[in-house]
Structure 1
């Protein structure tokens, strides 16, 4: 192969690996120069026209190619490897391994942080040097590598905590020294490096955990020695460093799990030995240190996974041998110790990912070798251990990030991210 053909416009590509012995492998390019020629098993492949129209081309390894050369030629900064995902209402945030935050899907009130309210079926890079992202129905947050918290979107209830009620179409700085942010429907919980827990936003159900039910538009400290937090629809769950689970907010569906149906504005103790917690709209999923999964709250669609549709006001055990949990609006997911993904609850849009549209009151298997999973209102996104990205449920607003919209699928479908 002519070396000149290989040297043109290298910076415009995202080549992961290549070898020049007329075999190619592990190559996922984005845009090619008209001068590029690649060799595959059948011969030369010219990419002039796709580049001129800026159409993505994907070249993958043929399993028929024997003994491929494993030479790494170069690696650009612009990769497509997804490290984490966060699924919101009808949008998704992807964080790449090079710490770029990508946003796709519904953009009502500027929650993607793109400077406008136009929905995006193809991901847009919205910030660099990102540690994590979190999004909900109408607003979003990003934590940068330096611990600063940034927010965008609906701020009517003071959910961004910037001392205003103004919507933000672009990400603005909120506070610093942040390790975790968890947005609910109308409130936000923020965990800082020193273990203090802060809340802001709507407080009509007591979800901020303050002595009064007055709403706030600035962050207020409510607890210390906290190691994890999850904000649900209108309730807040958090775990202190001794493994104790605490809850406050709306409890009309039993989502706090304190054995009552009474909402609480002062946090109450729920149980001990807790590793993580995930709050849905009106239900809560709990992972204990012994890898058992417990659930409490609203159960009309079977989202507790206990085999019934009866609500619970105290946690009941629903699974074991679990390593990770998450919830959507009316769905629950857990990842087993073996990497298998399981789901229960509402399935009208195929959001359970089991190949049906039937609700399930028990956990059904979805996917194997799962590394990362998160669920929105009607969709879910997962990353498997081999780095592949998957989506299922509704893609009405392009929340899969694959460039399409107004589609849906009831089983995991591989997603190709191009941005």
Structure 2
């Protein structure tokens, strides 16, 4: 390789909007040659004289040091900002790293492998067919454009994503993915994580402060505060005599309606956003078959739970016959997908989803714009009455009064006479 004259200069500094991403500024007659070397090290052009290195494993300073060393060997003049040099010299570790047996070098190897997967997806070398939430993290199945065993299962997110299994054919990989994750399978790639979105914005030369036309992030979904579900359950028994209490175990309470056709189970130990706190089922008689059932996770706004139980206790005389009309009137945003239809609240903090071919999760209402990372979820099986879904949609829509659509009714109190100390709904950050 020809020697590069010393008047080609590269300055490295931490990115002002996202650390530890690095900006390289190139000047001099042979700047194009320097930029070519930087591209080989993962830097991407964001302007005539600037390039950015942003990684999902947060190792940009480490790889910047390697790039600077190579440039110096080729004769380029390099300068590293003191703050970046401090980052390079600091041997930090991941908090609560999921593979604690790994050395620092091994952690870096895992991150580098995850970075390669991220880059392969972003640049079209790896196509993701399906994804799912296995209860702990995101999993996916995809195919590389070239390679021997190029059909793979992926496990994990960001710096922890790995190839877990390889297959000879796409059909084999997809069939096994369906067998492993069943109804949790969703079409296409999973929504980008916050870190992936940030990295891609930086590499494209846009940031939240400089990009134009970027849609505003979804608002925080309303969630129940700690203790609200317990207080609602207590009020249900104290002030609504149609429900009778059973508590077969210390961690579970069962509420049976006086009609003997509705059963509600509440799990007192539910804490995490994915923990099921409530299970509701309706039967066609005291000893009949189950008609439908629903599960409700912790943090679900109490007003939504109240709407469901109120309908089961005493259905209103007049209600809409389908949730679609309610959501349309409330100006929710519809979107069609191959296997489902979704309606998003105006601020995208709540989504109502219909999967017409599913049995267990025929209908879903969840907080947040991404089901895989929802703050809370209500799942309803096939057979649920459409008027109940319309009431649930109305209750969800009433969480977003606006000048163009005032609330059509007062927000329901969680139960008749429920103490004021237990609000019907409240918003908090998570």
State the TM bucket, normalised to the shorter chain.
under 0.3
Larger-Rg structure: 2
Higher helix fraction: Structure 1 or Structure 2? Answer: 2
TM-score, normalising length: structure 1? 0.25
Quick check: which one's strand share is greater?
1
